[in-house]
Structure 1
Amino acid sequence: MAPESFAAALLDPRADPPSCGSERETLMGFLAYQRRTLAMKCAGLESAALATCAVPPSGLSLLGLVRHLSDVERFWIRTCLAGDPAPPLYWGTEGGDTDFDHAPADDRMVADSFLAWKEEMAFSDAALASRALGHSVSAGRHGMVSVRWILAHLIEEYSRHNGHADLLRECLDGAVGE
């Protein structure tokens, strides 16, 4: 028997990016598609499953990916693009990121992590809508980067990590799909 497909199990919440849209519409469409893909990979799982490191010895989990991508959006949009000195959401006192640290996940921590992700996405969308694609900002060791570059980088981050999410979800319950 073949594993259950996400498409069969859930109504696919994603909309295809516009095939003939403007550059901004296309980039934002691909970003939205990749964000919804991660949400879809996490859908229907209990807190413990979301926090499970399904491919030992890796510390990757679906919850860790959500937390990581929250901080990715926070750094590139809130810090670099908007100039807000807000610290990372998941950063340890010793100076390392803690997005993939796996304290036992309870429902509250999971809800807080997903809320933070949604808040960062909303902030990102508003900030991106108000800047020209050619607008450039300083991004630390990356030098000067354009809004266009930031958008392409966010799409790349989500796409890469959605590949991880595919494998994690399949290990957790056998569900597969785009």
Structure 2
Amino acid sequence: MAKIFCVANQKGGVGKTTTTVNLAAGLAKVGQRVLMIDLDPQGNATMGSGVDKRKLELTVYDVLLESASVLEARVRSEKCGYDVLGANRELAGAEVELVDVERREKRLKLALADVGEHYDFVLIDCPPSLSMLTLNGLCCAHGVIVPMQCEYFALEGLTDLVNTIKQVHANLNKDLAIIGLLRVM
């Protein structure tokens, strides 16, 4: 069964994508089976994994809207040695499309239930917001890694993130824990 970790912080530019891609590459390099999921509509983790987001036929968007499975939508990053469930700008529309959908916060969790035996680790790059996309990541994760700049304003935003994580833990995902704060820059 795969260990699922989110890399999350609602502040942008703190190294979430860099952390996710490098952790995925490092784990793959030591022989772990890794799936990296890009939940950010910018698609930088997809591109950073050597996958052209403009050429993807299926993405995490299709998985969240249940028109494709993870196994159908994943692509292999031969360059990096792990699988990628990529994203592109299309993912921004998922926020609106999921508004009236049942179990909208658990779409990713349900999709990942079928792939646990295929991977040792699933790493999720979350967008820089506390959105429905981030909530999907938190609802299926065992742990959260929080990249954080070492400055005053970063601490202020950390309170909101910790409160969100506590609410998700209490109401939606009892397995969720903060793995740690990763000081960056």
Q: State TM-score, norm by structure 2.
A: 0.32
Structure whose alpha-carbon radius of gyration is higher: 1
Is the helix fraction higher in 1 or 2? 1
What is the TM-score of this pair, normalised by structure 1?
A: 0.33
